[in-house]
Amino acid sequence: MNSRNFEFLRSHHRALADLGGFAEHYAHSDPTSALVKLRLFGENLVADFLQHHKVPRLPQATFLELLQIVEHQNLAPSVVLNKLHVLRTQGNRAAHGSPDASNTQMAIGMVKEAFDLGKWFSLTVHADATVCSLTFEVPQPIATQVELQRERKVALQKLAAQEAQMQQLLQELETARRKAATAEKTVGEQKAILAQASQAANALQFDEAMTRQLLIAQLLVQSGWHV
């Protein structure tokens, strides 16, 4: 599944590129599916980050449990963790049918958060400085309504095949992660990982305003406020 914003990930992490591509594709036509794909994007990004640094985790660990490992060992800066939590919580709300969780504007905002995370991941894990010059392109509707109706059957068949391939790839990645050798990190190793992760986040100069707005809005909704 090709995309406007995530192809820079394909050479090292095809699954992340595909998940980002699906999210872009669904942003206008099916925002709920887009948000669920972005939750998977965040979960796999964290799993790959931990695997890269050979940090142990439990098999079948949830997204939240993976983030707790990163937080407890202080392996990533707050700006990155906030973006990951936004993808997790908004994806969960969409998956559970929260009425105000899924719309195109929200989906596009979350695609932007995932794009930022993808750049950070490439810079901190692969030292790929070329991502610093990448700019986000807002996903556009893939076709007019008439064209969509005409091509719906072919498009759905193609998407189903791509989804199946992606699921197989994710299963293969999880199997490989379980086989990878891991060891508890020393305090010095943890500090080195955080320094590298923070340096990458600083180089990309993330704007935290939108991420903070989304986090606050989610907390208000959970408290019963209409946002």
- 2 within some domain: no
- 116 within some domain: yes
Q: What is the pLDDT of residue 146?
A: 47
How far, in Å, CA of 45 to CA of 121, rounded?
A: 8
Count how many residues are written for the chain. Answer: 227
- 210 within some domain: yes
- 227 within some domain: no
How far, in Å, CA of 141 to CA of 112, rounded?
A: 16
Both tokens of residue 191?
A: 């500090």
- 169 within some domain: yes
Q: Is the pLDDT of residue 85 over 70?
A: yes
Q: Which residue has the higher pLDDT, 108 or 216?
A: 108
Q: What predicted TM-score, i.e. pTM, was given to this entire model?
A: 0.78
Q: What is the pLDDT of residue 78?
A: 92
Cβ atoms of 18 and 41 within 8 Å: the answer is: no
Please choose, from the candidates 116, 49, 50, 106, the residue with its C-alpha nearest in 3D space to the C-alpha of residue 83: 116
State the chain's mean pLDDT as an integer. 85
Write out pLDDT tens, residues 165-224: 777 777 777 877 777 777 788 889 999 999 999 988 888 888 777 777 767 766 665 555
- 80 within some domain: yes
16 CB-near residues (< 8 Å, 6+ apart): 6, 9, 41, 44, 45, 48, 118, 121
Q: 57: domain range?
A: 7-222
- 1 within some domain: no
Cβ atoms of 67 and 196 within 8 Å: the answer is: no
Maximum Cα–Cα distance for the chain, whole Å?
59
Q: SS3 for 155?
A: helix
Write out pLDDT tens, residues 122-151: 999 999 999 999 999 999 886 554 455 555
- 160 within some domain: yes
How far, in Å, CA of 33 to CA of 134, rounded?
A: 25
Counting the structural domains of the chain, the total is 1
Q: What is the pLDDT of residue 182?
A: 78
